[in-house]
Amino acid sequence: MSLVLIAALPFIGALFPGLMIRAGRNACAMMTGSFTLLALILLLIEAPAVLQGEVIRNQISWIPSLGLHANFFLDGLGLLFAGMILGIGLLVILYARFYLYKTDPMGQFYTYLMLFQGAMVGIVLSDNILLLLIFWELTSLSSFLLIGYWKHLPEGRQGARMALAVTGGGGLALIGGMLLLGGIVGSYDMTVILQSRDVIQASPWYLPALLLILLGCFTKSAQFPFHFWLPHAMAAPTPVSAYLHSATMVKAGLFLMARLWPVLAGTDAWFYIVGITGLITMVLGAVIALFKDDLKALLAFSTVSHLGLITMLLGFGTAEAAVVAVFHIINHATFKAALFMTAGIVDHEAHTRDIKRLGGLRHLMPITFTIATIAALSMAGIPLLNGFLSKEMMLEEAAHTDIWVGIFATLGALFSVAYSFRFIAHTFLGPKRDDYPGHPHDPGFGLWAAPAFLAVLVVIIGILPQTVVGALVAATSGAVIQAELPYYSLQLWHGVTPALFMSIIAVVGGVLVLMSFRRMEGVWNALPRPEAKTIFDWIVEGIAGASRRLTDALHDGAISRYLMIFAATAVITGVVSFMGGTHAAGTHQLLPAGPMAIIGLLLLTVASLGVVLFHRNRLLSLVIISVNGLVISLGFVYLSAPDLALTQLTVEVVTIILLLLALNFLPKETPRESTMGRKWRDGIVSVAAGIAVGGLAYALMARDLAFQSISQFHLDQSYPGGGGTNVVNVILVDFRGYDTFGEIIVLGIAALAIYALTQTLLHGRASRRLMEIGKGIKRDGDRHPLMLVVATRVMMPIAVMVGVYIFLRGHNEPGGGFVAGLVVSIALLMQYMASGFAWAQARQRADYHAIIASGVLIAAATGVGAWFADRPFLTSAFGYFQIPPMDKFELATAMAFDLGVFLAVVGSVMLALASLSRLARRAGETVNDTPMDIDPSKTTEEAR
Amino acid sequence: MELIVALAVGVLTAAAIYLILRLRTFPVVLGTAMLSYAVNIFLFATGRLAINQPAVLLTGGPYADPLPQALVLTAIVIAFGMTAVVVMLALGAYLESGTDEIDMKDETKGDRT
């Protein structure tokens, strides 16, 4: 399990910096570092076995159905990268502790850094390519946060965005490539993939997979033509540059190319794409680096160049070149991280990174100068330092590959020498100046300790390569090549070889170039060069503009247009798919149509037409629409659905009252605005939809069920299982009780939403407009007529009794909580209408919110009760009881559930109406003290 | 009988969609209410039609399909909840903006019809 722990430790560590920062910056850094250190120690414990050639595996099945396993493995390649990530990570944590300014939020920084570290470790240890992809995306995201860490700097934000766009876009391509690769092999496990070289290279999908994977690797590793994001990412704090942009993240692409080298390399496509891309990147990066005045930009382009070098070596596809690539990965990580850190020190102390404003620092910063010189000489490939060794070997491989490759590689090396020397000469050498923006001096030990450690590595690897890293190079190369290692020797002196001459040419040429730097710079500056950022911004702007135009065109805020398109599309799709199939006539036995049914249909048609024709007169259309509801209720009665009929009828009443109340505050007329063309268009769409839906309904009803429905089960079990004879009610409160439970919650939420909406309307603009409207409302002189008041008072107990009756019989005969709730609501409503809302409410203490809540809670409690009997939620129980001299009667827990439904319905309906009446009060409706406007006990004179 | 129910569904759907395509909120609210009638009847009809066979276990059968009925019963109540919320939204929008048009006016490009 140690591998899982190694990958998890940085993530766990990411949780702490934000808290530990309260204990001080040292405590914060130490806490963070301890997690990295622990992971590094765990890794080193495994190291001896891995160096012996063992592969260590940890496997956890995560989502097996997707082929996603949290499998980790550690071989030589993983060991090298994990070691680099954790080792340099530790140094960077130390360095950042002293680098970050007092005003920088350090906790945040370390959290991002640890997230990144964990994601990186995850990439290099994953044995499952899907898992790898997840970590890959995580590195893009965490590096976005790190690059944009200084949020106040626009360059930081833009650089972060650019890096995310390029590497994230490449990541998408990589996902595609990896899925193709997994598809070819039939497994997403890296170990299996690595053994399937022949299958992969023979597959017709090899080339697409290769291209997509390389797109991911090239963007991540800043290869031409995607190299432009890396220099812009230099807006990040220097510890980030040292960590992400030299040692780790940009090497993720190299890692993946090395990881998949055994199965992807060796083809012509691989050789030309990878080799030539690497070569171009190497030369181009080196040339641009020479002319950069910003220390970090210089180092950024030199990194681009060295990444190109390694890519090129991998691209050669030979085992020897792969060994050199591995060796150079190690060397580059050591000297380049050290260089970034020294550049950071210079920036930190001299307050500028502009080479033109520096020079002569060797007197002021001797320690920094020493470290920087060692690292830069290594970068230039000067003997006794590790950069020399791998560069010699690289030149050797290049010379063997092709004469032109050799020439260009030498050219790249030449410029590498030139910019390395420029880094030293123009920063540290020369006369001391007196116009530095800051007061440069060597920093404290904390800041130079990390680069110094790396510089020591540079030297000892350079002198004793075989002793220090021989085993690591062998183990790593073995993992990359997955075969017998070729002959190679890590040593200083290889004898008089072509590489030696190329090296000498490079060094001498480099010095000559630097000596004529002024003249060359003039030429360089006169050359027209495409500015990558401008092109990138232009592309981004273009894409953003195009999508904005598309969005504007499609989404213009006219909802009537969307609805029209939606309706038309639905109809067309339906018709097309209907035409695409074959259809036999239905065999279902049709029912005869009686005269009542025909009259009902006629009424319905007339009413529907009436609503459409008179819809501009809103009150009239509301009255007509209620005819529809009544006809439908009758239809339900006729078609053996008494429960539906009851529900429809009561709902109809409540809905119409609600709409009437709302109409009070809305315009009473709909203006004529639709053009004739629009009416025709809408008419055609709606008639087509009507024909389609009606036809579908007919086709459905004229056919028998395609397969046995589950309805028979409900009919059979209703009485023995649910204890009720009204199957519809038993389904609602028992079989499908869970659905009903959800539904009353939805109803309660709807009522609460109405309440909340009302609450907002009682303030500000809406409230003022409401008062304005209130002034225009014509009020009847007798708003609470005597007849209505008396009639509703008389009806109230009867209506409530009917409600109770319907509730109680619901389990066995048509009725139940829904209908009973609506009936009681209507009875209450009538009181409100008769005597005014405020008057009625003053005589009724219950809070509607509480009624809704108690309804939901009672229903829930009934369901929970089943747990105590060791049954699943909402299992109902029932029994028959007899209290003499009454008849035997039934009690079922379902009845308590139905009570919950009842209360939720009453509460919701009443809350909705109460909300509307609050609006009415705001609109100026007065509260009367008496139940009716005219007190019949007084004479007319007294009343006046 | 099936034909009559199908015609009812069709008529209600056509009227509902025509209303939904109007430009003011109130007809749209009425349209959604009518559309829920149509949908409810459609769902109800999936259980096939039966006359004088309510699913109340007293007659000894045969019975109408109770399952779509149970579904439609809840659908009717939910449709009420939806209509209530939508009409309140329409009211709120009218009170806030002073207009009950459903289409947003694009301020930069002038009014649209």
pLDDT tens digit sequence for A290-310: 988 888 899 999 999 999 999
Cβ separation A709–B96 shorter than 8 A: no
pLDDT of residue A620: 93
Amino acid at A146: L
Give the number of residues written for chain A: 944
pLDDT of residue A283: 93
Q: Which of A615, A718, A740 sits opposite B19 (nearest CB)?
A: A615
Cβ separation B96–A766 shorter than 8 A: yes
Cα A280 from Cα A68, distance rounded (Å): 37
Mutation pick from A701, A707, A730 vs chain B, by most beta carbons of B within 10 Å, is A701
Q: Which residues of chain B have pLDDT under 70?
A: 105-113
User: B56 to chain A: nearest residue by CA?
Assistant: A726
DSSP A469-524: HHHHHHHHHHHHH-SPPPP----S---S-HHHHHHHHHHHHHHHHHHTHHHHHHHH
SS3 state of residue A891: strand
Residues of A in contact with B93 (CB under 8 A): none
List pLDDT tens digits, range A65-106. Answer: 777 778 899 998 999 999 999 999 999 999 999 888 888 888
Cβ separation A761–B96 shorter than 8 A: yes
Residues contacting A611, CB < 8 A, separation 6+: A621, A624, A625, A628, B15, B19, B30, B34
Chain A CB within 8 Å of residue B43 CB: no
Per-residue confidence band for A1, with pLDDT thresholds at 50, 70 and 90:
low
Cα A621 from Cα A614, distance rounded (Å): 6
Cα distances (Å, whole numbers) of residue A473 to A325, A345, A397, A476, B98: 10, 31, 17, 5, 76
Mutation pick from A552, A634, A715 vs chain B, by most beta carbons of B within 10 Å, is A715
Cα distances (Å, whole numbers) of residue A465 to A321, A333, A387, A492: 17, 15, 11, 8
Q: Residues of chain A with pLDDT > 70: what percent?
A: 98
Cα A889 from Cα A895, distance rounded (Å): 13
List pLDDT tens digits, range A509-567. Answer: 988 888 888 888 888 888 887 777 888 889 989 999 999 999 888 888 888 888 999 99
List pLDDT tens digits, range A156-179. Answer: 888 899 999 999 999 999 999 999
pLDDT of residue B108: 47
The burial class, CB within 10 Å (0-12 / 13-18 / 19+), for B46 is: middle
Residue A869, pLDDT > 80, answer no
Cβ separation B77–A761 shorter than 8 A: no
Q: Which of A667, A715, A757 sits opposite B55 (nearest CB)?
A: A715
Q: Are A888 and A880 in contact (CB under 8 A)?
A: yes
Q: Which of A618, A643, A747 sits opposite B73 (nearest CB)?
A: A643
- Cis-peptide into A885, omega within 30 deg: yes
From the list A358, A371, A336, A335, the residue with the least C-alpha distance to A443 is: A371
pLDDT of residue A18: 85
pLDDT of residue A943: 54
pLDDT of residue B111: 42
From the list A908, A781, A770, the residue with the least C-alpha distance to A848 is: A908
Cβ separation A750–B49 shorter than 8 A: no
Q: What is the DSSP letter of A233?
A: G
pLDDT of residue A63: 76
Cα A659 from Cα A755, distance rounded (Å): 16
pLDDT of residue A611: 93
Measure the CA angle with vertex B59, ends B53 and B63; round to 5°: 30
List pLDDT tens digits, range A906-938. Answer: 999 999 988 888 888 888 777 777 777 766 676
Residues of B in contact with A612 (CB under 8 A): 15, 18-19
DSSP A24-75: -HHHHHHHHHHHHHHHHHHHHHHHHHHHTT--EEE--EEEGGGTEE--EEE-
Residues of A in contact with B64 (CB under 8 A): 639-641
Cα B110 from Cα A877, distance rounded (Å): 65
Residues contacting A897, CB < 8 A, separation 6+: A733, A734, A737, A740, A741, A817, A858, A859, A862, A863, A874, A876
How large is the ipTM? 0.93
Residues contacting A827, CB < 8 A, separation 6+: A795, A796, A799, A800, A803
Between the two ends of chain B, the Cα-to-Cα distance in Å is 43
List pLDDT tens digits, range A350-371. Answer: 888 888 888 888 888 889 999 9
Mutation pick from A566, A601, A628, A637 vs chain B, by most beta carbons of B within 10 Å, is A628
Between the two ends of chain A, the Cα-to-Cα distance in Å is 93
Size of interface A-B (CB pairs under 8 A): 322
Residues of A in contact with B67 (CB under 8 A): 709-711, 714, 731
Q: Are A654 and A825 in contact (CB under 8 A)?
A: yes
Residues of B in contact with A557 (CB under 8 A): 103-106, 112
Cα B113 from Cα B94, distance rounded (Å): 19
Cβ separation B34–A643 shorter than 8 A: no
> What is the rounded average pLDDT for all residues in chain A?
88
Residues of B in contact with A693 (CB under 8 A): 9-10, 13, 38, 42
DSSP A464-477: SHHHHHHHHHHHHH
pLDDT of residue B109: 47
CA A604 to chain centre: 49
Structure tokens at A392: 């010699």
Cβ separation A644–B87 shorter than 8 A: no
Q: Are A915 and A927 in contact (CB under 8 A)?
A: no
Structure tokens at A801: 């009794």
Structure tokens at A614: 């008179």
DSSP B32-90: HHHHHHHHHHHHHHTT---SS--SBTTS------HHHHHHHHHHHHHHHHHHHHHHHHH
Cα B111 from Cα A362, distance rounded (Å): 70
Structure tokens at B86: 């939508």
The burial class, CB within 10 Å (0-12 / 13-18 / 19+), for B30 is: buried
Q: Which of A593, A666, A693 sits opposite B13 (nearest CB)?
A: A693
SS3 state of residue A633: helix
CA dihedral A122, A124, A127, A129 (to 10 degrees): 80
Per-residue confidence band for A939, with pLDDT thresholds at 50, 70 and 90:
low
Q: Which of residues 3-22 of B touch A (CB under 8 A)?
A: 3-22
Residue A944, pLDDT > 60, answer no
CA dihedral B38, B39, B42, B44 (to 10 degrees): -110
- Cis-peptide into A437, omega within 30 deg: no
Structure tokens at A51: 């160096």
Reported in sequence order, the residue ranges of A196-256 that DSSP labels E, i.e. its strands, are none
Instruction: Give the residue, A924 or A854, on which the prediction is more confident.
Output: A854
Per DSSP bridges, beta strands A56-58 and A878-881 are unpaired
Mutation pick from A549, A554, A590, A591 vs chain B, by most beta carbons of B within 10 Å, is A591
The burial class, CB within 10 Å (0-12 / 13-18 / 19+), for A154 is: exposed
pLDDT of residue A636: 94
Residues of A in contact with B45 (CB under 8 A): 697, 700-701
Residues contacting A790, CB < 8 A, separation 6+: none
Chain A CB within 8 Å of residue B96 CB: yes
Cα A185 from Cα A262, distance rounded (Å): 14
Instruction: Give the residue, A146 or A941, on which the prediction is more confident.
Output: A146
Q: Are A753 and A890 in contact (CB under 8 A)?
A: no
